[in-house]
Chains A and B, each alone.
Chain A
Amino acid sequence: MEKTYRVTRADLVRYAGASGDFNPIHWSERFANNVGLPGVIAHGMFTMALVSRAVTEWAGAPDTVVELGVRFARPVPVPDTDEGTEVVVTVTERGETDEGHTKLAVTATCQGEKVLSLAQAVVRKR
């Protein structure tokens, strides 16, 4: 399964408020540049939340995720445009755990570059 999610500055502002993560690298170009970033970047946890959306959609249920883990490999720059950027998430079944749950391998890319590595999920069968 492949899902494409659009990410704009407005999404980051909304996520900052909802999550309580107000680190200015996620909303201030000036601050991001001052700490050596090319511009505002998405919260890693926002990207992980997009992964969770793809996983719950794959599972067809909001409540069957047993495990979800990622490594943040590269930032997701979000330009100050109406289009913002896109994150593409893929979910692929990878066998079963000893408990009989389904293992899922996950990838996330932005502009063709992997932004997560070692991303995986385990979901309970319904």
Chain B
Amino acid sequence: MPLDQAFVGRKYPPTEPYLVGREKIREFARAIGAAEREFHDPEAARAIGYPDVVAPPTFPIVFTMASSHAQIVEDPELGIDYTRVVHGDQKFVYARPIVAGDALVCVNTVEDITTRGGHDFMTTRSDVTTEAGELVVTVWAKLVQRGED
């Protein structure tokens, strides 16, 4: 069964805020081998104008993947078979870097669904803002659900 086109444009309720921790940023930076001091040392981050350590560019995936998975991929009405899903594309557009201490809310939307050659392609968008509504980053993921054998 191809994915239902009627889901295009569906917007899910804002998530509970994700509280960005200094140690989580450090852990993520270490895991990807990123040594820039501003990812690890609050003093270095303050020296370039931030209140605390800044996060590496792909850090938002830590909470956008989990929340879009919980809301969209596991939406029983949409009926995605995750065992057939592979990650197709990923894109981030930043208004500013994420900083330790941010409390970030995601609004997840199904932006596009297409079916081609028996495979389904779904693009999700996560609009990531502070609780006050300041845009921080917009995240797009394209998932490919391979056709059934």
Residues of A within 8 A of B (CB): 5, 11, 14-15, 17-21, 35, 44-46, 48-50, 52-53, 55-56, 61-63, 65-72, 118
Partner-binding segment picked from B7-15, B31-39, B122-130: B31-39
In the bound complex, do residue B31 and residue A17 qualify as a contact, i.e. CB atoms below 8 Å apart? yes
In the bound complex, do residue B88 and residue A52 qualify as a contact, i.e. CB atoms below 8 Å apart? no
**Could you tell me which residues of chain B, from 37 to 88, have a CB within 8 Å of some CB in chain A?**
38-39, 48, 50, 54, 56-58, 61-62, 65-66, 83, 86-88
Contacts of A71 in B (CB 8 A): 88-89
B56 CB to closest chain A CB (Å) equals 6
Give bound CA distance, A46 to B88, whole Å: 14
Give bound CA distance, A50 to B36, whole Å: 13
Q: Decide yes or no: A63 and B48 within 8 Å by CB, A18-B31, A19-B62, A55-B57 being known contacts.
A: yes
In the bound complex, do residue A15 and residue B56 qualify as a contact, i.e. CB atoms below 8 Å apart? no
Give bound CA distance, A48 to B140, whole Å: 14
Whether, in the assembled complex, B2 has its beta carbon less than 8 Å from a beta carbon of chain A, the answer is no
In the bound complex, do residue A20 and residue B97 qualify as a contact, i.e. CB atoms below 8 Å apart? no
In the bound complex, do residue B58 and residue A52 qualify as a contact, i.e. CB atoms below 8 Å apart? yes
Contacts of B66 in A (CB 8 A): 20
Give bound CA distance, A24 to B50, whole Å: 37
Q: Which of A5, A20, A56, A72 contacts B57, CB < 8 Å?
A: A56
In the bound complex, do residue B93 and residue A66 qualify as a contact, i.e. CB atoms below 8 Å apart? yes
Q: Which of A15, A61, A72 contacts B87, CB < 8 Å?
A: A72
Q: Which of B24, B32, B50 contacts A50, CB < 8 Å?
A: B32
